[in-house]
Amino acid sequence: MRRNMDNSVIEQIANEQLAKYVKRGGVHKVFNEIMEAERIKFRKVSSLNNNFVGALTKYTNGQLYIMVNNSIDNDGRTHFTIAHELGHYFLSHQLTQNAFYCLNEEIVEEGVWQSPIEQEANYFASCFLMPEQKIRSAFLAMLAYSKKTKTKDFLYVKNDWSFGVWSGIKVDLMKRYGVSEAALRYRLQQLKLAKFEFIA
């Protein structure tokens, strides 16, 4: 029986790789350099199966590939998928039948996952794309800067003044970290920096 990894261990592994590969800015900008250094080949593939999002596979010659479905139409989702597949790699998940084929419902940017291995890869992706120290200081600085803000250390987003503050902050953070709004919200909630309860 495989023992599940603690979130703190996963976060530490993500931070070690970030320290190694990222000088400044978001990790999504250096995905190609990371894969090259780790000798992983990257392919965008067309799949008729829309449920297929990404995969980490090993060819019989030992070559590793990260494949992403090229029909994914938003960059945030593509970045999360690559980070998720890198998670399987850096967390040394044992490849079954030489591959992880990760389906749409397994690569979840927010919420709960069924399989522990997929959950670990998702948590890795979240930490990798949005490292705690960086996102915490960026978020709090933006919150402090916002003139409409009434709270300085936490944002409870509802259908009031807070919604406008959030709309201003989110665009910048999504761009900086190359993530979707869903992934960003989930990370901020996880770090107890924000809570969301608005009706769009």
Number of amino acids touching Zn ion (CB under 5 A): 4
Q: Least Å distance between CB 17 and Zn ion?
A: 17
CA distance 92 to 19: 18
Span of 16-24, 43-51, 117-125, 177-185 interacting with Zn ion by CB under 5 A: 117-125
194 lies in the site for Zn ion, by CB under 5 A: no
Q: Shortest Cβ contact with Zn ion: which residue? A: 102
Cβ-based nearer residue to Zn ion, 2 or 24: 2
102 binds Zn ion (CB under 5 A): yes
Q: Are 174 and 184 in contact (CB under 8 A)?
A: yes
- Residue 120 Cβ, how far from Zn ion at the closest point, in Å? 9
Stretch binding Zn ion (CB under 5 A), from 70-78, 94-102, 146-154, 177-185: 94-102
Choosing from 5, 14, 86, 121, the residue that interacts with Zn ion (CB under 5 A) is 121
In the complex, least distance from residue 53 CB atom to Zn ion, rounded to whole angstroms: 9
Q: Does 55 bind Zn ion (CB under 5 A)?
A: no
User: Cβ distance 56 to 89 under 8 Å?
Assistant: yes
Stretch of 38-46, 57-65, 116-124, 137-145 contacting Zn ion, by CB under 5 A = 116-124
Query: What six digits make up the tokens of 21?
Result: 């590969």
Site residues (vs Zn ion, CB under 5 A):
100, 102, 118, 121
